[in-house]
């Protein structure tokens, strides 16, 4: 009886409220970033804000559908969902529509669907299924390879469609694997790789090579139990190869516009005129978005009042650069609000994940948090110029039906799984 009367309280309302706030506030900003002229016709479906309103309406239906499906369904059918999703990615090579150089869309009627947005949820289900399998042990090298293949398939398919931004997101599964027992050595190696890359570009390959060699030798000789000399030499060789390899990769393999993104990010260029030039020519969006954000001040210029937003200075502002509209029109108050909402949402999901009784739910929840976190970090970091420009949407916020639906499915499957946890009491 108790369960029946409190049926709707089983869902985690905190998460749902944050979700609603993000979607609602996001839409207001899309409206501001995309409306033209004096009048606003909310149901003008030729305009992004009108379309987004329709997407949101359809999202409600989607949520009802997800929540009414039995929890067990997601676990049982996860493999099939994953395979179908991968096939939809493969299908792009045959029937995909090219937009802005990326072949990531299916055109159905007047609408376009981007299967990569749904692939994240499918991959998360597959990873959860795999890791929760009693036979799987992530400490085992063979299983590590298998887990890696699960995320590599969508990542490679998406990369082949020229959508580098969405590919990067699959790196977020590292956190999931690590949580589930991936050996620490991987964490150490990843950090080392990042250090060597940045250092090699910033301070030069030779200096980096020397410094790391000295560090490794120091480690070798200070350890009471001496590591084998071969191991040490191998580590040194790896570091040297990496530091020179990265430099070579940067200088000879990356295309000039990619070089400039990294150069600007790591402040490799010293000539201020050249920097300004790079910002203007290559990173026009970033330059304008940073200016738009800083022009907002403490409380912003007001809703629909942003000069750069209404002047359409920031291209793609209603999609990947939507955060700059928040910055300009709502100021520091608005941007902090959004950042805090995201942090709360992520922490809430992590917290709920840790409470899960089933490993499947926990791994899935962890995947959701990791994926959302990557989007949040890369998108806002990019819009503020903290990291190189990688075009990915801000979850629930950016314009686009596929994106909104993809993230909604991702999140609400977890909400459904989580509601089941309460059921088990």
Interaction site with another protein (CB under 8 A): 175, 178-179, 181, 187, 276, 280, 288, 290-291, 293-298, 305, 307-308, 310-313, 315, 327, 331-332, 335-336, 339-340, 342-343, 346-347, 350, 354, 366, 369-370, 373, 376-377, 380-381, 384, 386
State how far the alpha carbon of 224 is from the alpha carbons of 206, 227, 232, 260, in Å. 29, 9, 15, 46
- Residue-wise over 389-405: b if at least 16 C-beta within 10 A, else e? bbbbbbbbbbbbbbbbb
SS (H, E, C) 313-364: CCCCCCCCCHHHHHHHHHHHHHHHHHHHHHHHHHHHHHHHHHHCCCHHHHHH
Minimum distance, C-beta of residue 315 to another protein, in the bound complex (Å): 8
Minimum distance, C-beta of residue 373 to another protein, in the bound complex (Å): 6
**Tokens 């030798």 appear where?**
217
Residue 103, φ and ψ in degrees, nearest 5: -95, 65
Q: Judged by CB, which is closer to another protein: 45, or 332?
A: 332
Minimum distance, C-beta of residue 202 to another protein, in the bound complex (Å): 19
Residue 316, φ and ψ in degrees, nearest 5: 60, 25
Minimum distance, C-beta of residue 219 to another protein, in the bound complex (Å): 22
Q: Judged by CB, which is closer to another protein: 169, or 236?
A: 169
Minimum distance, C-beta of residue 295 to another protein, in the bound complex (Å): 5
Minimum distance, C-beta of residue 213 to another protein, in the bound complex (Å): 29
For helices 115-132 and 359-383, the axis angle rounded to 10 degrees is 140
Give the CA angle between residues 114, 116, 122 to the nearest 5°.
125
Q: Which residue stretches of 249-321 are H helix?
A: 256-265, 272-281, 284-294, 307-310
Q: Judged by CB, which is closer to another protein: 82, or 313?
A: 313
> Which of 412, 397, 414 has the alpha carbon at shortest distance from 55?
397
For residue 233, how far is the Cα from the chain centroid?
37
Minimum distance, C-beta of residue 21 to another protein, in the bound complex (Å): 16
Contact 383, 289 (CB under 8 A): yes
State how far the alpha carbon of 346 is from the alpha carbons of 19, 139, 341, 410, in Å. 11, 26, 9, 13
Minimum distance, C-beta of residue 224 to another protein, in the bound complex (Å): 24
Q: Judged by CB, which is closer to another protein: 174, or 244?
A: 174
Q: Judged by CB, which is closer to another protein: 114, or 310?
A: 310
Q: Judged by CB, which is closer to another protein: 216, or 293?
A: 293
Q: Judged by CB, which is closer to another protein: 95, or 276?
A: 276
């Amino acid at each position: 009886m108790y369960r029946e009367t409190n049926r709707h309280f089983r869902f985690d309302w905190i998460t749902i409220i944050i979700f609603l706030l993000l979607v609602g506030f996001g839409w207001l900003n899309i409206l501001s970033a995309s409306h033209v002229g004096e009048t606003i016709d909310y149901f003008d479906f030729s305009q992004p804000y009108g379309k987004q309103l329709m997407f949101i309406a359809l999202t409600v239906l989607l949520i009802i559908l997800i929540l009414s499906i039995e929890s067990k369904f997601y676990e049982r059918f996860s493999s099939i969902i994953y395979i179908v999703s991968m096939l939809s990615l493969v299908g792009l090579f045959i029937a995909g529509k090219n937009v802005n150089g990326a072949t990531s869309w299916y055109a159905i009627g007047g609408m376009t669907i981007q299967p990569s947005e749904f692939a994240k949820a499918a991959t998360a289900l597959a990873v959860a299924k795999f890791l929760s399998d009693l036979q799987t042990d992530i400490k085992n090298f063979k299983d590590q390879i298998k887990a890696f293949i699960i995320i590599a398939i969508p990542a490679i398919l998406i990369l082949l469609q020229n959508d580098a931004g969405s590919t990067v997101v699959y790196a977020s599964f590292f956190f999931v694997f690590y949580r589930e027992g991936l050996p620490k050595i991987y964490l150490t190696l990843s950090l080392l790789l990042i250090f060597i890359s940045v250092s090699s570009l910033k301070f030069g390959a030779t200096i980096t090579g020397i410094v790391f060699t000295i560090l490794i030798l120091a480690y070798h000789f200070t350890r009471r139990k001496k590591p084998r000399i071969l191991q040490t030499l191998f580590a040194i060789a790896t570091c040297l190869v990496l530091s020179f390899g990265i430099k070579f990769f940067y200088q000879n393999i990356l295309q000039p516009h990619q070089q400039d993104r990294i150069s600007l990010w790591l402040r490799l260029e010293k000539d201020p005129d050249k920097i300004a030039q790079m910002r203007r020519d290559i990173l026009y969006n970033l330059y304008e978005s940073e200016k738009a954000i800083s022009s907002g001040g403490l409380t912003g210029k007001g809703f629909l009042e942003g000069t750069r937003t209404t002047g359409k200075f920031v291209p793609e502002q209603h999609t990947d650069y939507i955060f700059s509209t928040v910055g300009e029109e709502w100021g520091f108050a608005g941007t902090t609000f959004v950042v805090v909402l995201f942090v709360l949402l992520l922490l809430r999901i992590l917290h709920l994940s840790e409470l899960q009784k089933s490993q499947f739910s926990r791994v899935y929840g962890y995947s959701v948090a990791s994926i959302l976190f990557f989007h949040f970090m890369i998108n806002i970091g990019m819009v503020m110029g903290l990291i190189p420009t990688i075009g990915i949407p801000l979850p629930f916020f950016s314009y686009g039906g596929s994106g909104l639906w993809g993230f909604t499915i991702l999140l609400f499957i977890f909400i459904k799984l989580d509601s089941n946890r309460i059921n088990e009491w």
